[in-house]
Amino acid sequence: MSELAYGVLRQVTPTAAVLLAENPGVMTLDGTNTWVLRAPGAESCVVVDPGPMDPAHLGRIAAQAPVEVVLLTHGHLDHSEGARSFGRQVDAPVRSVDPAFRLGGEGLAEGDVISAAGLSIRVLPTPGHTADSVCFLLDDAVLTGDTVLGRGTTVVAHPDGRLGDYLESLRLLTTLPVGTIGLPGHGPELPDVVAAAGGYLVHREQRLAQVKAAVTTLGGAPTARAVVELVYADVDRSLWPAAEWSVRAQLEYLREA
């Protein structure tokens, strides 16, 4: 990834460019990646994840108009808060799994192929981080939202997110062609999303084993916080609240196994 720059449209692949929202944080890394998609030579574009309600950021995206359609990878506000306002601003429908974020009424489902801006964009349901998470597959790249990040690992946002679903979603991504570029919701692009998803699976298996061992050590039915204090002792405490989400999902997964 090139030097971090807010407010600058950066071309990543022949069909995908990114605008980085200025909302950095523990959960958002450098900020939310808003993706602008168009085939070479196409006048219109597709916008994925307009991001927070930041008029300056939304204005910079609107400058890429005409926009045919706005797509959401999931409903977390750092991706979706500005979506309906942006859709009205550029007179474009907003499509999402969750009806609460739609503008124009059309959803997203497995098997959908969105033909816009000279592209065919296939919807891949990838629940786990959240129940409504999806990825968008292009010819040589896949937009992964928060299912796979450009740096570090994501959380399973229990109770909406479920670990079993998340593991299946990662396995689905490992079936894509090797070398498929990952275009994440946060962090830099990934040269091979298959390798990244495989690494996530290994990490999750290791964490699950650690959580299982912690439950045995602590005895009874330990709280997620107690497990976090043991398993994540070497992790910055600012990340512990997010880790509790994932641990709750792991404890539920172990109970159901």
Tally of CB atoms within 10 A around 12 = 18
- Residue 103 in domain: yes
In a domain, 203, yes or no: no
Residue 234, domain member (yes or no)? no
pLDDT digit string, tens, across residues 187-245: 999 999 999 999 999 999 999 999 999 999 998 889 999 999 999 988 889 889 888 99
**Bridge-based pairing state of the strands 134-137 and 141-145:** antiparallel
Decide if 219 is inside a domain. no
Say how many domains are in the chain: 1
pTM score, two decimals? 0.94
Q: What is the pLDDT of residue 220?
A: 83
How many CB atoms neighbour CB 177 within 10 A? 11
The DSSP line for 201-243 is: HHHHHHHHHHHHHHHHHH-SS--HHHHHHHHTTTS-GGGHHHH
What is the rounded CA–CA span in Å between residue 194 and residue 181? Answer: 9
Tokens linked to 135: 């990825």
Domain span at 168: 10-192
In a domain, 75, yes or no: yes
**Domain assignment of residue 254, yes or no:** no
Which residue, among 208, 206, 147, 190, has the nearest Cα to 172 in the 3D structure? 147
Per-residue pLDDT band for 5 (boundaries 50, 70, 90) equals confident
Tell me the per-residue pLDDT of 164-177, one tens digit each, with 9 for 90 and over.
Answer: 999 999 999 999 99
pLDDT, tens digit, 9 for 90 and up, residues 77-91: 999 999 999 999 999
Q: What is the CATH number for 68? A: 3.60.15.10
82: which 2 tokens? 């500005």
Judge whether 71 lies within some domain. Answer: yes
Q: Is the pLDDT of residue 29 over 50?
A: yes
Residues annotated as part of the active site: 78
Cβ proximity of 55 and 30 under 8 Å: no
pLDDT-derived band at 1, boundaries 50, 70, 90: very low
The C-alpha atoms of residue 101 and residue 165 are separated, in whole angstroms, by 22
Specify if 44 maps to a domain. yes
